[in-house]
Amino acid sequence: MSESLTWRAGDHTLRFDDRTLVMGVINVTPDSFSDGGRFLDPERAVGAGIVMSTEGADLLDVGGESTRPGAIAVSPDEELDRVVPVIKRLAAELPGLPISVDTRKATVAEAAIDAGATIVNDVSAGRDPRMFEVVGASGVGMVLMHMRGDPDTMATMTEYVDVVQDVKEALRAWIGAAIEAGVTEDRLAVDPGLGFAKTADQSLTLMREIGRFAELGRPVVAGPSRKSFIGRATGTEVDDRVEGTAGAVAWLAAHGAHVVRVHDVRQMIRVVRMVDAIRRPSIEHP
Just list the catalytic residues.
227, 261
| Alpha-helical regions (H) of 59-105 | 76-93
Q: Write the single-letter amino acid at 180.
A: E
Residue type, 244: G
Provide the β-strand partners of residue 22: 260
Burial class (CB in 10 A: 0-12, 13-18, 19+), 235: exposed
Is the separation of the CB atoms in 183 and 103 below 8 Å?
A: no
Strands (E), the chain: 6-9, 12-15, 21-27, 59-63, 99-102, 119-122, 141-145, 188-191, 221-222, 259-262
SS3 8: strand
Which residues are paired to 261 by β-bridges? 23
